[in-house]
Structure 1
Amino acid sequence: MIGVAVILLFGGQEELGAATTYYRWTDAQGKMVVSDRPPVEKDIEYDVVSQGSSLTRRVETGQGAVPAEVTPRPGNNFTPTEDRRNAIVETPKNPESCARARGNIETLKTGARIRIRDQDTGELRYLSEQEKEIQQKKAEDTIRVHCE
């Protein structure tokens, strides 16, 4: 009896806390956006998805339910799309990765046969010349990123 009451109690909370309508659209970067609020830009087509049923309503361009905000306020800050595309993300230097990559390059340049454990079989095998070239390029990229 208590188990049934607990199920009823917690089962009913799902409807109280969850939004029943969601808005779905593709942003300027081509990414799918799902929100409990419609897009503020009026020139974006979006779908209204009701969680209570399987019905959706297509909203055409210019029919935005919410007017676009033109003045900044706390909470509506955003990074313009063009600035985000042009932003360069600085990767922090990692001396351990740098040292490991330099060691790998030295080993690859010796011309010695290099054995690795095969991921599929778990047995040791020798690197082919093509695999050595790939590993050398990876090490050079790591040095370019993590070494000063």
Structure 2
Amino acid sequence: MFTRNASLLALKSLGVADVFTRCFDSKALPHSLDVHFGPPDELFTASGNCEFGPLIPLLDDGSFRSVLFLDIMNRRQLHKRYVDDLRVDAIVYQGWQQYLADLTISIADSGASDEELSAIAKTIGFDHPDSTLTFLDAASDVPWEQRHFEFIGAI
């Protein structure tokens, strides 16, 4: 069984930017980032609290459509799962920066400008904003999903 505090401690253990741990205090986040992530409170309050093996829930996507989990057996692996089936991985990130790349792309998709994305990258501790902007602006015949996964995998 997991708790909100266990999730917060696991998140802190990754050395993430303060904005991620502040979301557990229900404080307003800069750049309206609370729209894009927050604690997965629905999992903590759900009756019949589910077990996820060696995975600890860290964050949801701000609307509880997907949840990010930390694999406590392999602390570099983060698992994104959709709420409609929390037993199946949508993507496995090989480190925090890969998650931040995906988050940044999601924020860009919501309409953030290049300047806003650069400021957000600093706030969230993302090390690759320029390559992400280049990726987002590049034209390609390769299907979006394939390009997306390849880009994240290269981070």
The TM-score range, normalised by the shorter chain, is under 0.3
Bigger helix share = 2
Larger Rg: 1
User: What is the TM-score when the length of structure 1 is the normalising length?
Assistant: 0.19
TM-score normalised according to structure 2 size: 0.19
